[in-house]
Structure 1
Amino acid sequence: MNKKFILITGASGGIGKSIAWQLAKEGYSLYLHFHSNEDSIRDLLVELESFKGEYIPIRADLSKQQGVKELCEGIFSLHGIVLNSGRSHFGLISDFDEETVLESVQLGITSPFFIVQKLLPKLKANQSSAIVAVTSIWGQTGAACEVLYSMLKGGQNAFVKALSKELALSGIRVNAVAPGAVSTNMLSQFSEEELSMLSEEIPMGRIGNPEEIAEVVAFLLSDKASYITGQIIGVNGGWYM
């Protein structure tokens, strides 16, 4: 049986690792992109051994212009892309210096654009391919003190909607998963009391877990979602909807 390869950017983070585990369990082989967290990728490779697929780590700094080239040079056969790289940005708009903003835009907007552009011929070579972006609830609603992050995630959502229309006749589906509050390192700066208050704001009464995001990503990559494209799927427990 031919292997189906999926590229996951940001595979060393909490959501990225869960996506990798879910896809490996479903029989995919993976390109596992990371930048600085090599220990996390090593641990992930050990965890995935039992699934007997092919798992290829690729280091690249996607906050830099040359990062896309470094990443794409390691990609051969390809059936799907999960655009998952990102950083959290907390603070007032006046808090951010120019370098931080420019690197964030490169990581969240420019690099995903060029990754898709450069890898599109490989996706078109397959009968059915898919792209899934992991965005955020803040890209749908916006958040004070997260203006930069909201801007980037909103841009990703618009990218998904536009790209899906452009690629539909090529047989390539493009969707996004927009998580709400998820139990990852992004929430590590909050106290237990703050997390408890946050949970109370969510209609389902709890914070989500990375596995719940991963299962939706896997569904959107699969043939079960063969007639779904251009959608931003909120996975948020009913929060801010």
Structure 2
Amino acid sequence: MFALNGRNVLVTGGAGYLGTPVCLLLKAQGANVIIADRDADRLDATQKAVAAAPGAGSVASLPLDMADEGSILQCVAAAEAAFGGLHGLVVATAFNSGKSFDALDAETFDFANQINLIGSFILGRAAAEAMGSGGSIVYYSSMYGVVSPNPGDYPDGMAPNAIEYGVGKAGLNQMVRYMAGHYGRRNIRVNALFPGPFPHAAVEKSFPEFVAGLAERTMLGRIGRQDETAGAAVFLISDAASYITGQLLGVDGGWTAW
């Protein structure tokens, strides 16, 4: 039920912090993985690493700019052609300005929506059309699409998680439900997972007290490891989740369950 031999899966943001482990696990389960990302150097390095990793699947890579509709449509068409069809999509792309509430300008807010909402919509619709009848789409949301960041958690000099990011992820959650209903009769499942605290190493180094606070607020008493969203994503892509659609799966150490 978990095997993905012969399945072709596109992972956008696949060269990113959380996306790369998804690509590695998909390949380990036998899938042919198409890695798409905007950063050309990081994309090339990730393709080489995934290709050298265990697993029977093949690996391809494609450029992608989630702010450009033409780039999105070209990426989906190339992904479909890479191995002859498309069976799955994992969307692990996002934009976060990092700006404070008072400093955020309308142009940046609009740009974030272009990537986090409009680009994700265009990508999901195009991928579903390429799948025909039967497939699985998994979006990466965020705990901040479910709950609001607590300003008290952030030390001086560090702005709370930017509002445009949380708003985009909350909208994405509703889009997942809508798309699940739209594509359900074609046996295309649409779900999202929302990571909890998965701070990058740079954040851990620069704000150790903040990271310790994140860990303390989870039920498991620690932050997430880089690879710990991959299992949920691959599960939702696989036939083991064949009767799961329109759902939001928290991978947050219990953060949002208090």
The TM-score with structure 2 as length reference comes to: 0.85
User: 1:29 corresponds to which residue?
Assistant: 32
| Structure 1 segment 107-126 matched on structure 2, within 5 A | 107-125=115-133
1:63 counterpart (63, 67, 74): 67
Contact in 2 for aligned 1:64/1:103 (Cα 8 Å):
no
Instruction: Name which of 184, 200, 204 aligns with 2:200.
Output: 184
User: Cα offset for 1:186?
Assistant: 7.8
Matches of 1:42 and 1:199, distance apart in 2: 33
Query: Which is worse superposed, 102-111 or 183-192?
Result: 183-192
Aligned-residue offset at 1:60? 1.9
Partner of 2:79: 75
State the SS of the aligned residue for 1:141. coil
Cα distance 1:224–1:28, how it changes in 2: closer, same or farther (>3 A)?
Answer: same
Contact 1:139 1:151 survives alignment (8 Å):
yes
The question of 1:85 aligning with 2:115 is answered no
Query: Secondary structure in 1 aligned to 2:41?
Result: helix
CA contact (8 A) 1:88 1:186 kept: no
Stretches of structure 2 that go unaligned for 5 or more consecutive residues are: 152-159
In the alignment, does 2:163 pair up with 1:171?
no
Can you list the C-alpha shifts for 1:165-220, whole angstroms capped at 9, x where unaligned?
11111101111100100143684574122211221122211001131100000001
**5+ residue gaps, structure 1:** none
Offset at 1:232? 0.3
8 A contact 2:31–2:56 mirrored in 1:
no
Retained in 2: the 8 A contact 1:14–1:185? Answer: no
Q: Deviations over 1:113-167 (max 9, x none)?
A: 1112223222124xx3100001001101123632111101001100111111111
- What whole-Å deviation, never above 9, does each CA across 1:14-57 have from its counterpart, x for those lacking one? 10001101111101011111102x23222222222243422111
- C-alpha separation in 1, matches of 2:122 and 2:242: 25
Looking at structure 1, the residues matched to 222 and 29 of structure 2 have their Cα atoms a distance apart, in angstroms, of: 27
Q: Distance in 1 between matches of 2:186 and 2:114?
A: 27
Classify 1:121/1:240 alpha carbon distance in 2 versus 1 (closer, same or farther; 3 Å): closer
* 2:50 counterpart residue number: 48
- Give percent identity, aligned residues only: 26
In structure 2, what is the Cα distance between the partners aligned to 1:91 and 1:103? 13
Q: Secondary structure at the match of 2:10?
A: strand
2:156 is matched with which residue? none
CA distance, structure 2, for counterparts of residue 136 and residue 189 of structure 1 = 22
> Does the aligned pair in 2 maintain the 1:109–1:156 contact within 8 Å?
yes
Instruction: Report the counterpart of residue 228 of structure 2 in structure 1.
Output: 212
* 1:12 matched to 2:15: yes
Tell me how far 1:111 sits from its aligned partner: 0.9
Is contact 2:5-2:29 (8 Å) kept? Answer: no
Let me know the Cα RMSD of the aligned residues: 2.0
Q: 2:138 aligns with which of 97, 118, 132?
A: 132
What letter matches 1:71 in structure 2?
C
TM-score (norm 1): 0.91
| Kept in 1: contact 2:28–2:57 (CA 8 A) | no
Q: What amino acid is the match of 2:91?
A: L
Residue 2 of structure 1: CA displacement? 7.2
The reply to whether residue 231 of structure 1 matches residue 247 of structure 2 is yes
